[in-house]
Amino acid sequence: MTAPLVLGIETSCDETGAGLVRGHELLADAIASSVAEHARFGGVVPEVASRAHLEAMVPAVDRALAMAGVRLSDVDAIAVTAGPGLAGALLVGVCAAKAYALALDKPLYGVNHLAAHVAVDQLEHGPLPAPAMALLVSGGHSSLLLVPDLVTDVVPLGATIDDAAGEAFDKVARVLGLPFPGGPYIDRAAASGDRALVAFPRSKYRDGSCDFSFSGLKTAVARWVEAREAAGAPVPVADVAASFQEAVADVLTRKAVDACRTHGVDHLVIGGGVAANSRLRALAAERCAAAGITLRVPRPALCTDNGAMVAALGAELHARGAAPSTLGFPADSALPVTTVLTK
Ligand code: KG4
Ligand code: ZN
């Protein structure tokens, strides 16, 4: 018997995603991004994102169906990001998913965006061993999660106390005159830079906690660049990008490996947009190999927001017989990471 076909809908930020998954098989991943509309503001403008979702939602679902070569009536279950994220943006996806579920008379799962960033790895690397450690690094979140069970038990160990890792990338990019969103541009610029040029601070590394802090690092980069400019010297963008990226990758990978050791966990999953970063991926691979930890990182296109990750979590919930959400569930911009499935 073939596994159920699950449609996943993602609208928590600036990506309208519609994905189709059967079991652990990815069939389609359609994405429409409004990022270009936010670029001149240097950050995502919530109202602009919501309106873009409204326009892109149905075409994205239609595109996913066409990619997979299936019809809407073939869909067996629907999953949607219920939170966390931008309230107005989430609302578009949640309303669309409810409409599809009602029209098709199929079960609906309102799921947690962060758990979906972890679940997507199953599409590439198979079932997630339990327990696993998850490092989630995106524009809105930096979290270390102990995952004894992706569906029933996600334990937050630490999170950022100020800027998220992606936010730091985006802000430092602005300081360096690179476009928004800064992560991919810093990654590219850093490729030809010297990561040892500036020893930027590794904040919150030595306190023993699993929390992160990136605002001091961001300020240190800004001060360094200002001092250069004040001295009339050119700013070595590639070197600063590489040195900054190194500081972020160093702290993230050390904390993740330390957390694995402390909790006796030998599988680490990294997810979220910043997991697309080439230096983070390389350093994580190096340090996990040295520590005997199996590293799992989805391919970059599945690290940034997409509908397939939501479908992947929906498929897992459906396969485990989880009770679907009721049609009355709200979009929750502050949905706690411990709530994998909303009622
Ligand atoms: O997961 P995501 O697509 O959206 C959120 O849930 O926030 O993450 C977006 C973030 C942005 O801050 C972006 O700059 C960052 O991920 N990002 C990267 C890279 N690609 C995207 N950061 C560093 N290196 C990259 N290659
Ligand atoms: Zn995300």
| pTM assigned to the model | 0.95
Prior bond of 181 cis (ω within 30°): yes
Q: Is the CB of 10 under 6 A from ligand 1?
A: no
- At position 337, the amino acid (one-letter code) is V
318 band by pLDDT with thresholds 50, 70 and 90 = very high
Our mutation pick for probing the ligand 1 site, out of 10, 31, 274, counting the most ligand atoms within 8 A of Cβ, is 274
4: left (phi over 0), alpha (psi -120 to 50) or beta: beta
Interval between CA 138 and ligand 2 midpoint (Å) = 6
Q: Is the CB of 273 under 6 A from ligand 1?
A: yes
Q: What percent of the chain shows pLDDT beyond 70?
A: 99
Tens-digit pLDDT profile for residues 61-76: 999 999 999 999 999 9
Q: Which ligand is nearest to the Cα of residue 298, counting in written order?
A: 1
- Tell me which residue of 141, 65, 145 sits closest to 311, measured CA to CA: 65
Interval between CA 288 and ligand 2 midpoint (Å) = 23
Tens-digit pLDDT profile for residues 103-153: 999 999 999 999 999 999 999 999 999 999 999 999 888 999 999 999 999
Tens-digit pLDDT profile for residues 176-227: 999 999 999 999 999 999 999 999 999 766 677 899 999 999 999 999 999 9
